Amino acid sequence: MKPYRVLLYYCYTPIADPEGFREQHHLLCLQLNLLGRIIVAPEGLNGTVSGLTADCEAYMAAVKADPRFDSLEFKVEEQETHTFQKLHVRVKTEIVHSDLPVDPLRQTGIHLEPDAFRQLKNDPDVVLLDMRSNYEHSVGKFNGAITFDMENLRNLPDHMDEIAHLKQKKVITYCTGGIKCEKASAYLLSQGFENVYQLHGGIIKYGLEAGGEDFDGKCYVFDNRVAVAVNQVNPAVVSTCHRCGTASDRMVNCASPACNNHVALCEACGWEHHGTCTDDCLSDPQLRAYDGTGYYSKKTEGYTPWQGYKSFAGSVLKS
Ligand SMILES: [Zn+2]
Ligand SMILES: [Zn+2]
């Protein structure tokens, strides 16, 4: 057993006082020494955090004690260490930015649990739709899935004509943890798609609970792991090294801070080109030192997770 856990979770549920909730929730995370990113919105809660096992368990118990989060599910992965360096608990207008005119609490696609998904995806009448961004599906996706060249879920409406011919098919949407699909599947229903399903808990839960069969490549994640393995059944590499074109699923951030592109770079090219994606990037005078991981920690000198807490300068710190 590894000593740390990474939690991934979301819940669409009305939160009447997001600012007040945020303050309280930030304090809870501080008390439990969690790091990560949490978004609070009037429509719900979305987070990914890391911490020691006991702290993560206490956090999950505290969240689940609130009846608003009855339907919330935690995806739990083991880690050797924190996967975040900072703690951000922020209020936004949506828990996942979409600008789509939908309310998943009123209408959304039918949830498929990982086992049901594994069976249904092989149905000849089924189409898989990847709801993630282009840089995410370029490193891994379900075999045969339709992807969109989009930066953000906001751009989904621009791609509707690419799938307009599938309105009578069974479509299953999927994303990393399931949160985007709540809105994307709702949007497809509003656009006249008749049989809309979504992979509940996303790629991560499918990997944890159903072995990840038929997921090719790796799953992009938003912490310092960059991309994680999903498929323990029939894994394949889908991405190629940005420099030499050989098959590689080593995802790095380009060492040029101005570029910082997420690209696949093979081991040899990583060292040869100092972790950069192009020669232009290699000549960046601000180039960061490549250490073989392609992950560059943000400046954390003098940082304390208390910084984002409103009462930081006040009584809480002194007590
Ligand atoms: Zn290479
Ligand atoms: Zn670059």
- Please give the distance, rounded to the nearest whole angstrom, from the Cα atom of residue 277 to the centre of ligand 1: 10
Q: Are residues 124 and 83 in the same domain?
A: no
Q: Are residues 171 and 84 in the same domain?
A: no
**What pLDDT sits at residue 138?**
87
The pTM of the whole model exceeds 0.85: yes
**What pLDDT sits at residue 316?**
47
**What pLDDT sits at residue 134?**
93
Q: How many domains does one find in the chain?
A: 3
Domain range enclosing 42: 4-95
Q: Is residue 27 part of a domain?
A: yes
What would the pLDDT profile of 225-253 be if each residue is shown by its tens digit?
888 999 999 999 888 999 999 999 888 99
Q: Is residue 115 part of a domain?
A: yes
**The domain boundary residue, chosen from 95, 124, 150:** 95
- For the chain, which residues score pLDDT lower than 50? 314-319
Q: Is residue 56 part of a domain?
A: yes
Q: Are residues 194 and 248 in the same domain?
A: no
Residue ranges in 155-306 assigned as alpha helix (H): 160-163, 179-190, 202-210, 267-272, 279-282
What tokens were used for 201?
């808990």
Q: Would the CA dihedral through 278, 283, 287, 291 be positive or negative?
A: positive
**What pLDDT sits at residue 319?**
39
Instruction: Choose, from 11, 175, 181, 281, the residue flagged as catalytic.
Output: 175
- Please give the distance, rounded to the nearest whole angstrom, from the Cα atom of residue 293 to the centre of ligand 1: 14
Q: Are residues 160 and 187 in the same domain?
A: yes
- Please give the distance, rounded to the nearest whole angstrom, from the Cα atom of residue 132 to the centre of ligand 2: 22
Element (H, E) at 195: strand 195-199
CB 255 within 8 A of CB 275: yes
Active site residue 281: no
- Please give the distance, rounded to the nearest whole angstrom, from the Cα atom of residue 262 to the centre of ligand 1: 14
Q: Is residue 286 part of a domain?
A: yes
Residues 6 or more apart whose CB falls under 8 angstroms from that of 111 comprise 197, 198, 200
**What pLDDT sits at residue 313?**
54
